[in-house]
Structure 1
Amino acid sequence: MKVLLYFEGEKILAKSGIGRALEHQKRALSEVGIEYTLDADCTDYDILHINTYGINSHSMVKKAKKNGKKVIYHAHSTEEDFRNSFIGSNQISPLVKKYLVSLYSKADYLITPTPYSKELLEGYGITVPITSISNGIDLNRFERSEEKETKFREYFKIKENQKVIICVGLYFERKGIIDFVELAREMPNYRFIWFGHTPMYSIPKTIRTIVKEDHPVNVEFPGYIKGDIIEGAYSAADLFFFPSYEETEGIVILEALASKQQVLVRDIPVYKGWLKDKVNCYMGNNNEEFANLIEKLVENKIPNTCQAGYSVAKDKSIGRIGHELKNVYEKVLTNDAKEQEDRVHQEN
């Protein structure tokens, strides 16, 4: 079995969750001994596993089907998580949905990160078989490290006993960036750091203004930072606060859980079945609830859920994801073999 992992615009999307999903897929396939290639010109593969939905992605699917290859589409994107993102996203989201349905429907099988996103796709009327498989997490990479934590503290000049709340995400309204800044304004004694970057020309003026100038002094937007500093931040911060309104999974949450960090999220449907309030994380519905929870969590006034959260990350480790992907590949190829056998019987 050989798989062609195709990812259009890899450099552009490298800083997003989808970009990290590709790295996880490569690791996952290596761990279960599945041969893969990233060469779009390769012809000796069995399955096209495609992650993106640009014009070139459409051409790759068409070419694969023409050559009798099986196509598995990794459905990272939905209309719901496209809204409240880029300039004009809400206006064109119905067209994006129509395009996604057309593209996804050409696949032999769909993989999507969570049961929630699976339900959304089924609600679109897509009849292709769909299974939910987490994007996974590299537990070793996010294991707590004194060296990494020191690098984070030194880079940001964190003072002793200073309380730090972090978030990681693109500069999207959907991610809850407005609420993050408003809460920081209400809590001047705490330091709020939002990691991540989105080209300013692509986001609405209201969000550009918030990032560039309209935020209190206790909020920082250091941009996209990778390696030891961000990994140290995940474990050294006092809280990972992710107020997103819509996700298909949220790889950054898995990264925080793998770091044994306390996690606070908005109570939204995507977390149903794997995140549970007051068990492996805390959940809030509005800024009043968030302010109350942030203060109690940072000051250790309520029990932390870090260990239970880590167990969630363990269940979604890259090794386990590799076996789940392998099962889907084998199912697709087995069905293909059965179809060919049935065809021969019919011809005879």
Structure 2
Amino acid sequence: MRVLNHLELESQLHRSGMGTAAAQQRKSLARADADVDVITSPWRDGNALDAAFANLAFEESFFEDYDVAHLNMAGPVSLALARHAKANDVPLVLHTHVTAEDFRDSFRFSNAVAPALKAYLKRFYSQADLVLCPSEYTKGILESYPVDAPIEPITNGIDVDSLDGHERFRDETRDEYDLDGTVVFAVGNVFERKGLTTFCELAKATDHDYAWFGHYDDGPQASKTTRKWTQDPPENVTFTGWVDDKRMAFGAGDIFCFPAKVENQGLVVLEAMSCGKACVLRDIPVFREYFTDGEDAILCSDFDEFVDAVDRLADDPALRERLGENAKETVQEHSLDHVGNRLVDAYRRVIDD
């Protein structure tokens, strides 16, 4: 089976959750119990310009041959690839990493754009033979649009190997960013949707060091909220910006705090759990779907619950350890071996149909 697994703008998105998810799909397919040949570029000879030249000079096809097109983005190139697949009877799998709901509170003007994005995504996903998404929550969102295509949730999974050895980064990273004691931390791009204001207000309400490891915009595309907090953070909050190795964050931090307002799954939570970190999360549907309050995470409904959870965990190392060990067990359900076999099964079904 030859599969095109494509991520438009991959060079720009490799730092994002979308880029991580696509990379994990490919790694999981290499582990699957089936012979799958994965290509990442649709263009013959590897790029569009060479393919165009070959088409003009030798009347060769622009496109590689593949049995299934699996697209991870909804941009103009992906739209063209989807139309090519439909025109040539190539089974089309579209993967939902973005919805209008989780696009809100990301960039400047993202809330104004979200309604138009919803209308576009409804049409884009409806052309698929199968839509994959990371959770039942996201499936429900797509059905509400409504998307007129079969929809199947498959976890994005977790690449445990990519986090191996995170412990050895602890002292060096804490020294670099002047972190001390019990460190409350977050990982990923800095957006209000990720719970930025709650994170900073929580720091003001408690006495611990806080660190957010991840890129933040400071140009015109940044939201006012992002600029406000990153340019003038509370005294006990450090915004590190992009770090070269995510293991630095998971080595340095003790309590993973992720008060995101909307998530389709939250890959970074699985990464924190894989490292045995106690997780404090907002009580939203997708986290209720995957995690159990008091067993492998603490889910908080309001600000006072966040304060209580962080302070309890800071004062109780045994509780942190228990939650962390249970979280490691939860992560096993999201192994890349499991993801790869689910993807192969999905490909076979769209081919057979």
Query: With structure 1 as the length reference, what TM-score do the two structures score?
Result: 0.90
Shift in Å, 1:88: 1.2
Q: Choose 319-328 or 119-128, whichever is displaced more.
A: 119-128
- Spell out the pairing of 1:71-220 with structure 2 (5 A cutoff): 71-143=92-164, 145-159=166-180, 162-187=181-206, 189-200=207-218, 201-213=220-232, 215-220=233-238
Contact kept in structure 2, 1:15 and 1:224, CA below 8 Å: no
Deviation at 1:158, TM superposition (A): 3.6
Kindly tell me: are residues 308 and 301 of structure 1, through their superposed partners in 2, closer, same or farther at Cα, counting changes over 3 Å?
closer
The answer to whether the Cα contact below 8 Å between 1:3 and 1:35 also exists between their aligned partners in 2 is yes
CA deviations on 1:246-294 (whole Å, 9 max, x unpaired) are 0000000010011111001000011233201001100111221101110
Question: Contact (CA 8 Å) 1:87, 1:204: kept in 2 or not?
Answer: yes
Change (3 A) 1:56 1:145: closer
- The answer to whether the Cα contact below 8 Å between 1:211 and 1:221 also exists between their aligned partners in 2 is yes
CA deviation string 1:132-174 (max 9, x = no partner)? 0111101222245442333323433444xx1211101322211
Give 3-state SS (helix, strand or coil) of 2:162's partner: coil
Asked if 1 retains the 8 angstrom alpha-carbon contact of 2:258 and 2:281, the reply is yes
Report the alpha carbon displacement of residue 119 of structure 1 after superposing the two structures with TM.
1.0
Structure 1 residue 236 displacement after superposition: 4.2
* CA contact 1:144–1:259 (8 Å) conserved in 2: no
SS state of the match for residue 319, structure 2? coil
Mapping of residues 1-348 of structure 1, within 5 Å: 1-32=1-32, 33-41=35-43, 42-143=63-164, 145-159=166-180, 162-187=181-206, 189-200=207-218, 201-213=220-232, 215-227=233-245, 230-300=246-316, 303-304=319-320, 305-335=323-353
Q: Please report how far the alpha carbon of residue 15 of structure 1 lies from its aligned counterpart in structure 2 after TM superposition.
A: 1.6
Q: What residue identity is the alignment partner of 1:211? A: T
Instruction: Provide the rounded CA distance (Å) in 2 between the counterparts of 1:151 and 1:34.
Output: 41
- Unmatched runs of 5 consecutive residues or more in structure 2: 44-62
What secondary structure is seen at the aligned counterpart in 2 of 1:174?
coil
Q: Is the 8 A contact 1:171 1:203 kept in 2?
A: no
Residue type matched to 1:285 in 2? S
User: What is the aligned length?
Assistant: 329
CA distance in 2: counterparts of 1:226 and 1:112, whole angstroms: 28
What is the CA-CA distance between 1:301 and the residue it aligns to? 7.1
| Offset, 1:235 | 4.2
- 1:247 counterpart SS class: coil
Q: Deviations over 1:90-109 (max 9, x none)?
A: 11211100000100011110
Assess if the C-alpha contact under 8 Å between 2:72 and 2:94 holds in 1.
Answer: yes
1:197-231 Cα distance to aligned partner (Å, 9 max, x none) = 14332222232121112x1121111112132xx31
Report if the CA contact (8 A) 1:74-1:112 is conserved.
yes
Q: Measure the CA separation in 2 of the matches of 1:308 and 1:265.
A: 15
* Cα distance in structure 2, aligned partners of 1:145 and 1:135: 21
Give the fraction of aligned pairs with identical amino acids, expressed as a percent: 32
Unaligned runs of 5+ in 1: 336-348
The amino acid across from 1:89 in the alignment is S
Tell me the SS of whatever aligns to 1:62.
helix
**Structure 2 length as normaliser, TM-score?**
0.89
Structure 2 counterpart SS, 1:202: coil
CA distance in 2, matches of 1:89, 1:218: 29
Which shifted more, 204-213 or 257-266?
204-213
Deviations 1:290-315 (A, max 9, x none): 01110001111773311111111111
Aligned CA RMSD, in angstroms, stands at 1.6
- Structure 2 distance, partners of 1:169, 1:68, is 38
Report the Cα distance in structure 1 between the residues aligned to 2:221 and 2:166, rounded to whole angstroms. Answer: 36
Structure 2 contact 230–239 (Cα < 8 Å) conserved? yes
CA shift digits 1:157-193 (9 cap, x unpaired): 444xx12111013222111101111111122x31110
Question: Counterparts of 1:296 and 1:113 in 2: how far apart (Å)?
Answer: 31
What CA distance in whole angstroms lies between the structure 1 residues aligned with 2:70 and 2:350? 11
Aligned AA (1:261) = K
Separation in structure 1 between the aligned mates of residue 145 and residue 10 of structure 2, nearest angstrom: 27
Contact 2:168-2:251 within 8 A present in 1 as well: no
1:295 aligned partner, one-letter code = D
